[in-house]
Amino acid sequence: MAASGSTSTTQRYHHGNLRQALIDAAVEMLEQGENFSLRAVARWAGVSQTAPYRHFSDRAKLESAVAAQGFRALGEELFAGREAPSTPEDLPDFAVGYVRFAVERPRMFRLMFGTECDDQNDERVQAAGMLQAALSENLRAVYPDAPVDDLAVGLWSTAHGLAFLHLDGKFPAEPADEMYDRVRSAFLAVLGLAG
C-alpha cells in the first residue's frame, strides 16, 4: 500500500507546495488504514525525513492540519453547490450530508473529532469554527429571529450523534437510502416537523 501512496503523492508534489503534499500523504495513509508519523509521511510523499519539520513541529500539528482539511471537505459536502435552505424542511439535507461524510470517510471523521483542543490558533479548532459559522448563517435564513448560534450547536449535535450511532453500529446495517431516510426522519422529529 505504501508504495502506491508514495508514488501518487510524489507525483503531485513536484517540489511545489511541500506542506500540502505532506497533508495529502497523511490523508492517504489515514484513509488506507496506515498509521502516520512525520517520518512515515515523509517516506510516503517521497521527501527527506527532515522535510516535514519545516512545516510541522510534531505529529499533533500535522494531525491538526489533516483534521482541518477534513473539516473543509465536510463543509464542501454540506454547503457547496447547494441552495441555501429557505424552510425547516430543507435542513435534514445537512444531517444526511453529515452522516454520509462520516460513513464514507470514517477514519477522517474520527480523527477530526478525536482530540481535545482548546487552542484557538489550532487549525482544527479554526476549521470547526468556520463550519459552525456556515451552519449558523444557513440557519439564519430559515429562523431570522431565533438564537441561531444555539440552534446550530443543537442541530450539529443531533447530526453528530446520528453519525456516531451509525459508525459505531448502534443501528442495524441497511442500504444507504434507508439509513439516510432514518437520518432525515430523526432530524425532522427534532425540528418538530415529524408526522
Q: What is the pLDDT of residues 81-107, one digit of tens each?
A: 888 889 999 999 999 999 999 999 999
Among residues 158, 160, 58, 60, the alpha carbon closest in space to that of 109 is found at 160
**How far is the C-alpha of 177 from the C-alpha of 86, rounded, in Å?**
24
Q: What is the pLDDT of residues 157-193, one digit of tens each?
A: 999 999 999 999 998 778 899 999 999 999 999 988 7
Q: Please, what are the domains in the chain?
A: 2-54 (no CATH), 59-190 (1.10.357.10)
Inter-residue contact 67 to 47 (CB < 8 Å) = no
